[in-house]
């Protein structure tokens, strides 16, 4: 073991692989930013972005509808509506 040579070549390979990974990571981050911008643009064009006042009114409306809703589960398909009520 005393006469073993230290091979520095794998270290250089690891550094180049690390640089490649960093480059790919940077490309993916740039692509994610571009996708977020495109998503925001589409949402803006579709009008799905609401101001906070409209969003809270919409939330209150959803809560009111939910308070009047009833879930009916485990109903057999051949049953008639008068049997469910």
- pLDDT tens track of the chain, all 85 residues? 555 555 555 566 788 899 999 999 999 999 999 999 999 888 888 775 555 556 666 778 888 888 888 877 776 777 677 766 6
pLDDT number for residue 73: 77
In a domain, 74, yes or no: no
pLDDT number for residue 54: 62
In a domain, 34, yes or no: yes
How many domains is the chain partitioned into structurally?
Answer: 1
pTM of the model: 0.41
pLDDT number for residue 3: 58
Residue 79: which H helix or E strand, with range? none
CA gap 38, 44 in Å, rounded: 10
pLDDT number for residue 11: 62
Domain membership of residue 24 as a residue range: 12-45
Q: What is the CA radius of gyration of the chain?
A: 30
């Amino acid at each position: 073991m005393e006469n073993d040579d230290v091979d520095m070549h794998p270290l250089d390979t690891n550094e180049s692989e690390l640089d490649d990974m960093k480059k790919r990571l940077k490309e993916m981050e740039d692509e994610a930013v571009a996708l977020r911008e495109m998503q925001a643009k589409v949402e803006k064009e579709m009008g799905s972005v609401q101001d906070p006042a409209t969003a809270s009114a919409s939330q209150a409306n959803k809560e009111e509808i939910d308070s009047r809703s009833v879930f009916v589960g485990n109903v057999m398909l051949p049953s008639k509506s008068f049997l469910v009520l």
